[in-house]
Structure formats: structure tokens, C-alpha cells
Structure 1
Amino acid sequence: MVRFSTLCLALSLLVAAPLAAQPETADVLTAANNTFDSGLESYNAGTYDEAYGLFMNVARGYPYHERTTAALLMAGKAAYADGLFSRARTALDQLITEYPASRYAEEARRVLAQASGADVQVPFDLGVILPAGSEDAYLGQAVFNGIRIAVEEHNAGSPRRPVRLIFRDTGGSAENAAQAVRDAAAAGAEAVIGPLYSGEAVMAAQAAQEAGIPLLAPLATAADVTEGRTLAFQANPTFPARGRAMARYAVNVLGYRRLGVVSESNTFGEDMGTAFAQEASRLGAAVVFQERLVGAAGWGDLERRVGASVLGRAQAVYLPVTGEDAPAYAADALRSLEGLAAPPRPLGNTEWEGLTTSRARASRLAALFTRDFFSPPGAVDAFGARYRELSGIGPDRLALMGYDLTGFVARNLDASGEGSLADRLRAATTYQGLGHRFNFDGGQVNTALFILAYRDGNAILVE
């Protein structure tokens, strides 16, 4: 197993326990401590088999010393995380039997109970394919940290199928990502999370299809990741999926029957606008105009480009903006609409969250927009504390994606019912994570987005 970059974990095990007997020499103690630290590195990186061997070497390869009981506990935990329950019981039994007064005995009994119960099943091997040595390694590290915390929480709950991780380095390239999938599958992975980007995900998805295992891409938005495949899933909605989500809200929730669309040609906004119009029409609404701007300058001149009378025929108008200056384009569109006698309600996309000085205007026009991420105050506090213990820094959105997506997969491992994991993922009800929602609605592209509205200058969650 390729080792992920070193993770830091503040464990009480690092605090020296009182000595029951002195090691023979200081050199022996130093060697044992160094081996123990290497075991912690391996454990934190998810290479549990390697960690088990190192911890058992510390426990049995030296006379009794200050790390003996901690090493037995960690050996048991590493074996349990690796799904090797008999091996875990051996290490934990030795700790409890030989050192019953150890401060680690209580935790050893807890882990032993999880590994000894009748509900212990064959673990689920989850592949993780992310960059570890390329310039994007820090991004992969954040996703991996989130995945690891989710797996720890899942396994601590005595699940029907505990999860163990199989990590493979993508090397930051599409070819390596595809090979990483093949390597993970050969090592027993039953599903894979990763890689980061669309270009990598397309080839990785094909490799997963050929291997017969589901692949869940956390960030990729390109539609060809899933097109023509049955085992690839996109947690990050594609641009057309974002347009369809807003259309469904406008028609099914708000009840609008007359809608318009303005987008900029040859941008992702055009893809969103086209999908919005198609979905609105499918749902029975009339798309009274669909304007494609040539160049971004048109956002500030909608009255002339589209026509005041045409704009006035719509109850709401979808205005998907993209690019580095997308919030500025949204602000231009709002200024243009506010000058109308009867402006339609503006409907936007994720980039509308970036409005600054135009938030008051957006509130006056009751602007709505979709967003792929939303975390209410306090929702990530517990996760953030655990993440800082693990990495020394606070979590970002990538970490939350890793955590939320793994939680979604884990929930469906324990779900009752027949069918493959891919079938269960497609049919699963909406999963609410700390910052993301997942619902594949019978398909393979996530359809669950948040709807926010501007009120009194603030973006407020409405659905």
C-alpha cells in the first residue's frame, strides 16, 4: 500500500506510562519508541497491516517498557480497522490478561467487544485514489483526512460492515488515476472514492467500469464522467444538473408557469441555461424567452439585449453566470433588472453567493440561487475539532466533501434491501451531510442542491 503523506494525530498514547520495569538499555527504549512512532504514522495513513506489524514488534520484540501496553492496544485497533478480527482479539486479549491494571485496558475491552460480537461481518474495502506526491497532494490530503474521520466514526458504531481503506496514489495524472483504480480493485476494493478532477475521473471511471466496482468522483463536473457508464457517480452536480435543479424549484415549489433564461454563449452558464429551459418545459412551464449573450458586457444591458417587454412576460428569469468575474456579472444583471417597471424574479447559481455591494438590490428583487455547499453555524464544530487533532489545521470544503461522501457510502453499506451497492446509491433517499447533500434520483449524477434567497442583505437557506 502506498503511504499517504504523514498525518499528525494527537493521541494520549504518546504520553509515557509509569514504568513497571526498566528496559535493559536506553538504546532498546529508543528503538522501541522509534518503532512505535513509525506504527502511529502507518496507522494514521491508513496502512493498518503495516501498523499492526510495527506495534506488535514494539510489544513483543523488547522487554517490558513504557510503550508495551500502548503498542498492544494500537496493534488491536490496527487489526480491527483492517478487518482482521481474530488478530485484533489476540493482541487485545494479551493486554487485558497480562496488564489488567493498565490505563488502556478499558479501551481494549471496548474494542474487543466490537471485534467479538456476533454481528461482526466481513469488512468493506473502500478504495481511495488521490494525489499524494504531486503538486495537488495537499488537496488530496484534505479529502483523505475527511474520509478517514468518517470511516473511524462508522467503525466505532459497530456497523454491519466495518470499512477499511485501500489507498492508491493517482500521481496527479489521468493515466495514473486509471491505474490506481485497477490497483485498488486488485487489492480487493469494492468501491472507490476519487480522483479529484474531471480529466482524471473520466479515465478512472472507465477503469472502475471494467473492474466492476462503483467509483464516486468527489469534485468532477464534466458530464462525460458518467455518460455511457453504470458504475460511475458524480457527487458534485454537473452544470446541466444545476440548471435542472433550479427549474424544478421554480416550477414545483414556487409554482411559476412563465420563465425566461439569459446566459452567455460558449460558457458553462449556457449549459445550465439550456438544461433549465428543457427541464422547465418538461415540467409544463412556458419558457417565454431564452437569450444567449455574446460576451459578458450584455449582463449590464438586459433591457436592450432582451427587451423590457420580453423580460416583463416572465415571472422569473434564470441568470447563470460563470467565470472569474461571475459575481460582477450577477451584479450587472441585477442593476439592469431593477430599472424595469415589473422586473422578473432573478434566479441564479452558486456564483451568486459572491455578491457583495449588490446584496441589498438582490434582496429587493427577492433573488434566489442554488448552491452545492451549505453548512449552518456550529454544524462542523465537532468535526473541526477532530480534524485539527488529526492534521493540526482546520477543515476546508474538500475535507467536508470527503467526510460527507464517505458517510453517504457507509450509510448505504448498512442499508437493508437487495441489489448491488451501485443500485442502492442510485435509489438512496437524500443524505444530509455536514455541508453537502446527495441524492442521485435513480441516476448517477447528484441532483441535491441547496436553495438560498437574499433577504435583508443576507443569503438565507430556504430549502
Structure 2
Amino acid sequence: MSFFNYKYLILILLTFTVQLFAQNQDEQKFNEAVKLFRNKQYQSALNTFQSISNKENPNQTAAKFFVVKTYIELKKYTDAEKEAADFLQKFGLSKYADEVSILLVKSQLEQKKYKSAFSNTIKLIKSSSSTSYKIDAKSIAQKIAGNYLSSYDLKEFSDKENDKKIKAFLLYTLAKLYSLEGQSDKGIKILEEIVNEYPQTDEYFLARNSLSSNQNQQVKDEIIVGVILPLTDKDGKRNIAAEEMLEGIKYAFHEINFNRDNKIGLLIRDSKRNEEEIRDIVQEFDSDKRVKAVIGPVYSDESEIVVSALSQTDLVFISPTATDEDLTENNDQFYQANPPFTVRGKVFAQYIFLKEGKRSFAVLNSLDGYSPILAKSFVDEFQRLGGNILIKETYRSKSVDLSKQISNLSQHLGNLDGVYIPLSDKYDAEIILSEMLKQNFIVPVYGNQDWLNAKGLETSSTISNTLKITSDYFIDFSDFSFNEFNEKFLNTTGKDITRNVLYGYDTAKYLVSVMRSIQSRRNTIKLKIDSGIKINGFHNNISFSKKKRNLYLNILSYSDGKFQLIEKYRGTE
């Protein structure tokens, strides 16, 4: 052997030894990271898995797989989704690919990306060579479709699919969804299509069995709606407002049950303004599978208790009147039929800017109550749309001297389209209007529903006749349909219509409308609500946004001593 060859051999051996040492180090680090993961030391494990997955080595794909798993354990679902997608692009043929696909779907579900999650389960059904993973993926896909997708969404997937086996699966899932939505005829047609056109698929036998069991069969489940209202307080004193709401709720179900064979029952519970009582009622409703949805509670503090208990149930709760801002955050089941104050200021800004075309405004608000919330949401939205807030003034409620604030506003008189004045106390209106007249500050005034009972409107008609406000309720006593309804209600109940009766009636009427055209199950009711269905109510219209809040408000004008409805306006979020 020549000296050159000898040196070359030593170099090869040294290189191999270094590589073997590095591999052994990576193996050791990987095993240590797995131990950290099992001991729930996720952040430390993640750092090691990432360092191993970023370079070529025998543990690279396994480490990358654990990166995805660790991000999910850390609840960093966006990062998990990104890493899973990267894994499947680079290592799509790896033995871990199927499991990573499942993790990708899980991270997307946690982020409420339901259509993306469904799409990735379909990709897994197509790509996996494992019968077990295909079965799991089909099961996951059907759960996603049944709980989070509409028949319209699913039809989009099936219409685009060319693979016959996948197409049959999508059609069968669509047929089940049609049945859940109360469109049984459409579901049966699709089952017949599968039997006639897809005989070589697993779904052929499922469809044939479903058709056989559907023949001459009518399922009549007992349906109950829960009602939770504070009919008494902690001392046992009657709550008249809640009693009136209950009368409205009961009458709405009386109307639908009058000509209905399969009656909808009401399970009415008194919350007694008591936290323990409320939690027991939620548990009772949840355990009774006949209960499909719940109307209530009334107050925001009671609603907060319900919201904290929502993880225990899949029931939908619709509050007729709760207005706190954060009740619908971080949950999928609580809906507010009464718009929160941030929504009211925002929607009014949209109406003024988009409908009336006004661009320059002043704001005068109290520092008390909900007036600052209304003012801020109005200002933020008006400016976001492109409008100008030329001046903003504040005052303490029940002040007797507002001359300075009105004087400051008056300096912009020639450039203003109007002034937004959300009251926190109806008695402030008289002082404000008087000072505006005194300083000849004559501009259109816009406000909130506290102006409905404000003092001084008659004596300041020059300004008050320009007044427009938003309100979560308005009863038009000159409306023929309302008077007809009022007469029927009086004849049936022996009681007159009140504002609280209508809060209860319109919320119940909304839920009745949701349940009318679908199979009344908890998840299908939620899907129907989330579709944006709208009802025209007597006190206000109801239609929920993606944030589960009603975006309708009554826009009212004041003229010659009375308020009149301009329109029921729906804003956006």
C-alpha cells in the first residue's frame, strides 16, 4: 500500500468515526428529549427536537414529528399547523406522515379552521396506505361535517371531487348532514345515487342499509327547550320583568304548538339570582337530552356563570337581554340577542357614515356609566371608516354647567355634520340642550336610547327635531300587525304587551324559526343559528354575527313630540 493510499484510508476512517460520533450524540439527545416530553417538560423538549430536525440525521423525521406534537401540547396551534404542513411537504413518504396529518387536523380544529381540517382528512384518506388511518380519517371527517359544516359546505367538496371512492364517502356524509338539517328527501336521493352509481365502494353497503331502515320510518323525538330566568331573587321576591319575559316566551311556543302534532315542551327553571342554583340548572339541562336549546339568562352576571359552565355542555344558550362585552368571547354556545354597548356605538357610526354619508362629527359624552363605552366604539369605527372626529368633550353626569364644553364644540360649528351625545342619565339632556340653544350651537344631534325618556325635548324643538338615536327596542303602536298580535296576546293571556314581553317573545320566536326547518338536535340548531338566519321581531330584529351577537338596532328620529322608526339597521363586525 502506497503512503498516499494509507493517508487516504486514515482520512476515511476519521471521517466515518466523526460521523458515527455525531450520530450517537444526536441519538442520545433525541432520547433525552423524548424523556423530557414524557415528563411534560415540553419547552425543553421542543428546543432539542428542533435542533435535531433542522439537519440531516437518522432521527430527523422523528424529531420533526415530535416538534409538531410538542407544539400541540403547548397549545401553540398555529406553530403546530405550520410545522405539520412543512413535514408533509418534505417527508410525505415518511412512516410518520399519517400521524402528522392527524396532528395537522387537530391543530386546525383547535383554531376553528373547520373547512381546512375537513379538507386535510380527505387528503389523508386518499394518501394513506393504512386501512386503520383511513378508517380514523373517515370518522374524524364525519364528526367535523356533523358538528361544524353545513350541507352547502359539504356539497362544495363533493362537487369538486373526481376520485370515485372519495366521492362516494363525501356523498354519504352529505346525505347524513341533509338528514340532520331536516332535508330528508335530499338525503334519500343521494343515498339512491350512491347505490346506483358507486357499487364498488364501502359506502354502497352503508347507503343501501340506510335506505332500508328509512322505509316507512318516522322518528319523533320529544323536543324540549330549557328556560332559565330569575323569577325570584335570593330573598324570594318576585321579579316582574322576568315574569313578563316568560309570558312572551310561553306565548311564542303556544303559537307554534297550536297546529303541531309533535309539541315542543318548555322546561322552566328559576335561577333565583344564585350561582349554585344556576350551575345545577345547567347540569340538569345538559343531562336531559330532550332539551335541545336554552333561552336565558337575563342578567349579565348570571350569564357569566353560565358561560363559565359551557365546557360541561353542548347546549346553545340565547340571552334576551344580557349586554356585557365579553360574554361571547372564547366560547361557541352563548348568544346575545341584545347588542352589547360596543356594538351599539359601532353600528351607529356605520349607519351615519355609510347610510347618511356624513363625514365630520363631534362627540360629547359623560364620564359615567356606559356613555364612555358608546363614545369610544363610535369614534373608533367612524375614524376606521374614514370619517373625522373634529373634537371630543366630556362631562360629569348631573353637572349643572356645561358652558365650557359647548363653547369648545361651537368653535367647529361650520364644519360639523352632527354631534354624537350618548347619555348615561336622561336628566343630562335638558342641561345639554339648553346650553346648546343658549350658545346657538344648532347641529343635528345623535344619541342612545336614554334619549327616549329625556327631559327638555319639547322646549328645545329647534335642536330636538334633528335628533336621531339607536335603541334595542321600539314598539310601533300604530302598526297593524302589532295591534293584531297585541289583541291575540291579550285574549290568550289576559295581559297587555310590555317591552319585557317582547324581549322574551322575539327571542323565543327566533329559536322557533331556527327549529322549524331542521331536525331539532343540539348541533343542528347551532349550525342553523350560525348560518345567519334572521327574524323580524316586534321590538327589534334578530340575526347573529360570527361573534354570536345581534347586530340589529332600531334607528329612531324625533319630531313634533314623538319618536318614529326610521329602520331596523344591521351593522357588521
Shared fold (TM-score, shorter chain, > 0.5): yes
Q: CA deviation at 1:302?
A: 5.6
| 2:225 maps to which of 103, 109, 126 | 126
- 1:370 matched to which residue of 2? 470
- Farther off after superposition, 203-212 or 354-363: 354-363
Q: CA deviation at 1:275?
A: 0.6
Matched, 1:308 2:410: yes
SS for the counterpart of 1:247 is helix
Q: Normalising by the residue count of structure 1, what TM-score does the alignment of the two structures yield?
A: 0.67
CA distance in 1, matches of 2:340, 2:276: 23
Matched, 1:165 2:266: yes
Structure ID, larger Rg: 2
Q: CA deviation at 1:454?
A: 1.2
Q: CA deviation at 1:156?
A: 2.8
Label 1:298 to 1:246 Cα distance change in 2 as closer, same or farther (>3 A): farther
The question of whether the paired residues in 2 share the 8 Å contact of 1:359 and 1:458 is answered with: no
Q: Normalising by the residue count of structure 2, what TM-score does the alignment of the two structures yield?
A: 0.55
CA distance in 2, matches of 1:125, 1:171: 22
The question of whether the paired residues in 2 share the 8 Å contact of 1:233 and 1:444 is answered with: yes
Label 1:425 to 1:291 Cα distance change in 2 as closer, same or farther (>3 A): farther
- 1:277 matched to which residue of 2? 379
Q: CA deviation at 1:334?
A: 2.1
| 1:233 maps to which of 335, 338, 341 | 335
Matched, 1:195 2:294: no
Matches of residues 331-410 of structure 1 in structure 2 within 5 Å? 331-340=430-439, 343-359=442-458, 361-362=460-461, 364=463, 365-377=465-477, 378-389=480-491, 391-410=493-512
SS for the counterpart of 1:421 is helix
The question of whether the paired residues in 1 share the 8 Å contact of 2:295 and 2:320 is answered with: yes
CA distance in 2, matches of 1:425, 1:119: 25
CA distance in 1, matches of 2:500, 2:384: 34
CA distance in 1, matches of 2:217, 2:256: 18
Matched, 1:175 2:279: no
Q: CA deviation at 1:121?
A: 4.4
The question of whether the paired residues in 2 share the 8 Å contact of 1:263 and 1:270 is answered with: yes
* Contiguous gaps of at least 5 residues in structure 2: 1-215, 568-573
Off by >6 Å, runs of 4+ in structure 1: 117-120, 416-419
CA distance in 2, matches of 1:444, 1:121: 30
Q: CA deviation at 1:150?
A: 0.4
The question of whether the paired residues in 2 share the 8 Å contact of 1:439 and 1:448 is answered with: yes
Higher relative contact order, chain-length normalized (CA < 8 Å, sep 6+)? 1
- Farther off after superposition, 241-250 or 386-395: 386-395
Label 1:302 to 1:208 Cα distance change in 2 as closer, same or farther (>3 A): farther
| 2:563 maps to which of 455, 459, 463 | 459
Q: CA deviation at 1:360?
A: 5.5
The question of whether the paired residues in 1 share the 8 Å contact of 2:398 and 2:427 is answered with: no
Q: CA deviation at 1:119?
A: 7.9
Label 1:424 to 1:335 Cα distance change in 2 as closer, same or farther (>3 A): farther
SS for the counterpart of 2:426 is helix
CA distance in 1, matches of 2:327, 2:393: 29
CA distance in 2, matches of 1:306, 1:321: 19
Give 1:427's aligned amino acid.
S
- 1:441 matched to which residue of 2? 545
Instruction: Report percent identity of matched pairs.
Output: 23
- 2:348 matched to which residue of 1? 246
CA distance in 1, matches of 2:400, 2:517: 50
* Residues 258-290 of structure 1, C-alpha deviations (whole Å, 9 max, x = no match): 122111124200000001111112222122222
The CA RMSD measured in Å over matched residues stands at 2.9
* Residues 385-438 of structure 1, C-alpha deviations (whole Å, 9 max, x = no match): 444455543232211111110001111123469974234324324422122221
Give the structure with the larger helix fraction. Answer: 2
Label 1:149 to 1:304 Cα distance change in 2 as closer, same or farther (>3 A): closer
